[in-house]
Amino acid sequence: MNDDHQRHIVFLDRDTMPDAVTVRAPDFPHTMDTYDRTAPDDVAARCKDADIVITNKVPLRADALAQIKNLKMVAVAATGTDNVDLKVCAERGVVVSNIRAYAMATVPEHTMGLMLSLSRSLRPYHNSVTAGRWKEAGQFCYFDYPVFNLEGKVLGIIGDGVLGKAVAKRAEAFGMEVRFSAYKGAKGMGPLYTPFEKILAESDVITLHCPLMDGTRNLLSDAEFDQMTKKPLIINTARGGLVDEVALVKALKQGKISGAGFDVVTTEPIPDDHPFLSIMDRPDFILTPHVAWAGIEAIQGLADQLIDNIDAYVAGAPRNVVTP
């Protein structure tokens, strides 16, 4: 691949990075078309002459891929690749590379922020002060919402990759007892893993840091919420679809869990009929718009790694290659 051929690159969704982030030019002869965002129906037309396609969240499905005749590489500007038909790419010899280990601070910090906000009832207390409740209370404080420490609590982490381990490190600094879970139904995971059912029954907080795949879709649903005898907080900064969202709303309303902090939903942006919209005013629920990854330092690192991946491929040494 190390030649002087001028390659054509198409970046489908530059708006998934803030303007403050610099996306440097690749280190080889090229042309580049950059779009702020791209609708799925426009993918084939915009990419028809592309050698390399950059996408963060825009889907690259079989029908569109079939029309991109010169495609040699898909550079995913994210870790997750569920928006790319990896099987079709593999069959055509198209290299797919993703971003790795770039969010080792920003996602864990957001995760801990959600835990702290829920455990200290920060959001409802702030809102109540804004509404005049402190003045009405007539004393130096009031106790309208629960407050509890993270110290001494059991944290169940589902997913033991770099992000899960980074969350564990921070949680241990808070004095939490950290347990890593095997996936539902997993066998022979060894003594360092706590069985999934024990995580459900014994955790004060459960946080998800695993990929979305057939074995993890709706990992937490009605049956799992029924097993949560300690009424834990549920944190999801990983992927929408890991939690059955209808079941989550039901569990929260029925008091089977103490609260939930989510940064992701199954369909993004959140649709008008999403079940979470019915609980947005609850003091025990927080939803942020998929920004756990969005620390400016992390996104700049992502952008640099994105171009590094493209340069490496063209130099004949592809890296961060994803296989189906």
Task: Tell me which residues are annotated as active site.
Answer: 239, 268, 290
d(CA 270, CA 152): 35
d(CA 248, CA 244): 6
For residues 133 and 185, the answer to whether their CB atoms sit within 8 Å is: no
d(CA 307, CA 42): 24
Element (H, E) at 158: strand 154-158
Laid out side by side, the sheet with 95-97 consists of 30-34, 7-11, 52-55, 73-76, 95-97
Phi first, then psi: what are they for 51, rounded to 5°?
-90, -35
For residues 243 and 264, the answer to whether their CB atoms sit within 8 Å is: no
Distance of alpha carbon 198 from the chain centroid: 25
For the chain, the distance separating the N- and C-terminal CA atoms, rounded to the nearest angstrom, is 23
- Read off the amino acid at residue 215: G
For residues 311 and 303, the answer to whether their CB atoms sit within 8 Å is: no
Element (H, E) at 109: helix 106-119
Q: Which residues pair with 76 in a beta bridge?
A: 55
Q: 247, 154, 260, 258: which is closest to 198 by C-alpha?
A: 154
Spell out the alpha helix ranges (H) of 120-218.
122-130, 133-137, 162-173, 196-202
